[in-house]
Structure 1
Amino acid sequence: MNRTARLYALVEELRAAAPRPLTVAALAARFEVSTRTVQRDLQTLMEAGVPVRTSPGRGGGWSIDPKMTLPPVHFTAEEASALTVALAAVGTSAPYAGAARTAAQKIAASMTDSVSAAARELAARIVTLPSPSNYEVRAAVEQALTTRTVLRLSYVDAAGRESDRLVEPAGLLATDGRWYLIAWCRTRRAGRGFRLDRITAATPSSEQAQPHDLAELLLGSAAASAVQPTTLASLTPRRACSLSSGFG
């Protein structure tokens, strides 16, 4: 068994035993490797963000929260190619681009040899033009959206006017390769769309933001006809928006 296969097998072994912990010695015997190899593999899983944890003392060992992981997913060659194209379209300036990159790596590692070869062959024939990316701004926006907290930002509008805003994020909107943060602007006391590449600075706060309906904030704007992408429809029962027509 190669190391990649063993890493996935380790996760499944821990999932099957959960919530009971397994000792390093038991895992080493199960996979016929040294305890040092198992320790190194478990450390690799932790660094990759897999929710494995260790508990010391008698009765302790390594365990995993099965609610925080997914069982193995087997892709067809067509599905793997579709994911390759979709992930290639996520530029470095797009929200959650970093998470998309690590997800792509995990997907690639889980593919069978034939499916992986098909996806890699297609990936070799896809290129993109780099776009400017402000990592600090993007990370702050991601954090505020995920934690539902108030965001302080500096913004330059289409006319070149600079302003500082305190906003309550509601969601993201995409059109023509551009991303917008849709939020309730406390400064303007109204819903506003902020183009991510025009946000020059952003700082998330610890203050909890009030909930705002994304569709309601878009009413009366050029993005009022925005609809949820069909590929996301199965993930949420509520209406989410991604633009299908122009926005300022």
Structure 2
Amino acid sequence: MNRTDRLYALVEHLRACAPRRVSARALAARFEVSVRTIERDLAALQQGGVPIYADVGRAGGYTLDKSRTLPPLNFTPAEAVAVAISLGRAEGSPFSRSARTALQKIVAAMSAADGASARELAGRIRLLAPLEDDEPASVPAVLEEAVSTRRVVRLAYIDKDGTETERDVEPVAFTGGTHAWYLIGWCRLRGDARVFRIDRVRRAALLEETAPERSFEDITETPPNAVVRALEFI
């Protein structure tokens, strides 16, 4: 059994045993690998967002939270690759980190055969990307958390004329399209609603302060030459 198949089987075995704990030694014996290999596999799954928990001690072991996992999915390989293409284009967006973990969960929940076919098909697809990208990798993740938790965020922002300013922003919403993503919020420096292109944010830091509640309708500023519509989530 190769590692990819073993990771899938490991998740399914823990799901079947939950909520009972299973020791690393028992898992190693089942999959005919060393305890160290199983522990590396479990760590990789945890880093990928699979909700696996461990207890230490004689009665300890590993278990999986069924309520936060997907049962085996009937995605076809082509459907899985279509999802991967969409999520792959989320790079640089405020939810790019979540897109990567979502894809890992989808593939882990597919059957071993379909997952292998999807990976083979994905290997025949290439996405074009800019040659240079000087955007700090942490910026989209910080802005995602700012909107999700409604925390005031401090931005180092470069405007269209190349002038850099530091400003505290009360985040309200994201908007974006094919070429750019924007953070919409209340700018305390300007005392008004503003739209910030995410690729012009050089640094972003969360503050401890919770932002006042504002709805999207409270913010009148929108990106130029754009019609804003709600994200369809069905």
Structure 1 residue 114 corresponds to structure 2 residue 117: yes
Q: Is the 8 A contact 1:7 1:41 kept in 2?
A: yes
The DSSP-based 3-state class of the residue aligned with 2:186 is strand
Per-residue displacement from partner, 1:9-34 (whole Å, max 9, x unpaired)? Answer: 21222223323211223323433444
Stretches of structure 1 that go unaligned for 5 or more consecutive residues are 235-248
Could you tell me which amino acid in structure 2 is paired with residue 129 of structure 1? P
Match of residue 197 from structure 2: 195
* 1:162 Cα offset (Å): 3.8
Question: How many angstroms does 1:179 deviate by?
Answer: 1.0
Query: Identity rate of aligned residues, in percent?
Result: 41
**Residue deviations 1:86-127, cap 9 Å, x none?**
134234x33233443454456566543333333322x14x42
Q: Read off the aligned partner of 1:21 and give its amino acid letter.
A: R
d(CA) in 1 for partners of 2:69 and 2:16?
12
Match of 1:112, SS? helix
- Shift of residue 219, structure 1, vs aligned partner: 6.8
Distance 1:15 1:81, change over 3 A: closer
Structure with more relative contact order (C-alpha pairs < 8 Å, separation 6 or more): 2
Residues 74-96 of structure 1: CA deviation (Å, up to 9, x unaligned): 321431332243134234x3323
Gaps of 5+ in 2: none
**Residue 21 of structure 2 is aligned to residue 21 of structure 1:** yes
Match of 2:93 in 1: 94
The count of aligned residue pairs is 229
Q: What is the root-mean-square deviation of aligned Cα atoms in Å? A: 2.9
Matched, 1:8 2:8: yes
Q: Deviations over 1:157-194 (max 9, x none)?
A: 33444433211111211135111101122333332211
TM-score, normalised to structure 1, is: 0.76
Secondary structure (helix, strand or coil) at the match of 1:205 reads strand
Partner of 1:67: 67
Letter in 1 for 2:9: A
- SS of the residue corresponding to residue 20 of structure 1 reads coil
Cα distance in 2 for partners of 1:106, 1:65 equals 13
Query: Secondary structure of 1:4's partner?
Result: helix
Q: Show the 5 A alignment for 1:153-192.
A: 153-192=155-194
> How high is the TM-score relative to the length of structure 2?
0.80
SS class of match (2:189): coil
CA contact 1:215–1:224 (8 Å) conserved in 2: no
Tell me how far apart the structure 2 counterparts of residues 28 and 220 of structure 1 sit (CA, whole Å): 55
Say if 1:191 and 1:135 are closer, same or farther in 2 by CA, change over 3 A.
same
**1:45 corresponds to:** 45
Asked if the contact 1:75–1:115 (Cα under 8 Å) also holds between the matched residues in 2, the reply is no
1:80–1:116 Cα contact (<8 Å) kept: no
Contact 1:183 1:192 in 2 (8 A): yes
User: What CA distance in whole angstroms lies between the structure 2 residues aligned with 1:136 and 1:46?
Assistant: 21
Q: Structure 1 segments of 4 or more deviating over 6 A? A: none
Q: Which moved more, 1:202-211 or 1:33-42?
A: 33-42
